Structure 1
Amino acid sequence: MNFTNKDGVLIVKDIIEAIQKNKDYLSEIDGAIGDGDHGINMNKGFTMALEELNENDNMSSGFQVISKTLMSKIGGSMGPLYGNFFRGFYTVSRNEEVIDGVIIGEMLDKAYSNITSISPAKVNDKTLVDVLDPAIHAYHEVYQSTQKTKESLEAMVNASKTGLESTKQMIAKLGRASRLGERSIGHQDAGATSAQIILETFATSAIKLLK
């Protein structure tokens, strides 16, 4: 099962809409142990990206627009992190007319490696890595055994939810929240939250397109 890169622009638009809808929720999560502006900054960047999209964009060029916008216009750590994340999606898929389960796996791997190349974050540091790592591993585990894209995406979503929940019991090791030490326990991480939203939206929208 697969979908065309052209039709895949729906995924880009759905991810932007999901961030916009969760703007207040993301800032509320961030407010508990951070600056409280994660939702504001994410919404600003993704909304600006939406304004840059045009009718000729496909999935790859849409992700490139998000990447460039976040890298150039959003400060803090999330601009570069997510800018590089979506650049990974673009880099792998840009020359592909058809997107299948193998390409999706490569997109996820490149996006994740782009994150780890610029961030020291490891699993259990209470960051977006605690969502990305188990989610992407789950995708590959199911795909390697079944070759079924839909089931692999569903496994990714389930693992992303488990990963997000796990951040509540972690002590923050990086960023502003790390200053709180053990007081950060009991709160889920804002970056992990937006990562989970992005992965789930990607999966849900891709499943709709699979033929």
Structure 2
Amino acid sequence: MTELTAANLRSLFQAIGDAIEADKGRLSELDGVIGDADHGVTMSIGFTAVNEALGKLDPGADPTTVFNTAAKSFLNAVGASSGPLYGTAFMRAGAAVKGKATIDRDALADCIAAMAKGMQDRGKAERGEKTMMDAWLPAADAIQAAKARGDGAVACLGAALAAAAEGAEATKAMLATKGRASRLGERALGHIDPGAASAVTILKAMTEAVRKL
């Protein structure tokens, strides 16, 4: 990969949407243990709306416009907690690349970090609370570290994916302190947080899509 154009970014969102659609049954099953059993369906609805909106964008739209359109459409489609979280994430990513016609490796790493910070600011969650932040925060740290090492874009995303997967797996041993799962106490032990699991799905789709470019 040299740099992502706005068209590449739209393809990236389509790849994420396809991955979420394929994984929505598993994600909802995970959510059924500790939540409303609808996380996969909710995320699928959100990314379907995103890709419908992006398909109507002017071909000359810049990356910030793509992210802002994704933010608005996801938020409008998803009323659950995921809506404001990912809406904020995409808005922050758009701000991180404001004024850029393309996204290079450094900007891509900054987008991931901005997304994680946006979700953390909106959800007020820290690591160890059995939420999506147990995947997104390690991913943000890992991609920035990989950038600092001089790794290429695919390697940077691969580092983020590995850190997110490790973080998601670690939620099995955590007691939930946020959301519906917090009511379950020790019954939530042994189960991966669905939000952390979907973060891994998203990052995997991004990594594979960028590798193909």
**TM-score, length-scaled by structure 2:** 0.90
Query: 1:7-156 residue pairs with structure 2 within 5 A?
Result: 7-53=8-54, 54=56, 56=59, 59-156=63-160
Contact 1:134 1:159 in 2 (8 A): yes
Classify the secondary structure of the residue corresponding to 1:98: coil
> Is residue 203 of structure 2 the alignment partner of residue 202 of structure 1?
no
Contact 2:63 2:102 in 1 (8 A): no
Q: CA deviation at 1:62?
A: 3.3
**Length, aligned pairs only:** 209
Deviations 1:89-125 (A, max 9, x none): 2222242122111101211121112112111211000
Give percent identity, aligned residues only: 33
Classify the secondary structure of the residue corresponding to 2:103: strand
- One-letter code of the match for 2:159? A
Deviations 1:152-202 (A, max 9, x none): 221111111111111111111100000001110000001111111112212
Q: What does residue 178 of structure 1 align with?
A: 182
Contact 2:109 2:156 in 1 (8 A): no
RMSD in angstroms over aligned alpha carbons? 1.7
Contact 2:174 2:189 in 1 (8 A): yes
Q: CA deviation at 1:207?
A: 2.6
Classify the secondary structure of the residue corresponding to 2:3: strand
Deviations 1:55-74 (A, max 9, x none): 62565433322210122231
Contact 2:158 2:207 in 1 (8 A): yes
Q: What does residue 5 of structure 1 align with?
A: 5
Q: Which moved more, 1:19-28 or 1:166-175?
A: 19-28
Alignment partners' CA distance in 2, 1:206 and 1:64: 20
Q: CA deviation at 1:78?
A: 0.8
- One-letter code of the match for 2:5? N
Q: CA deviation at 1:41?
A: 1.3
Q: CA deviation at 1:17?
A: 1.2
Alignment partners' CA distance in 1, 2:168 and 2:181: 16
**TM-score, length-scaled by structure 1:** 0.91
- One-letter code of the match for 2:4? T
Instruction: Give the gaps of 5 or more residues in structure 1.
Output: none
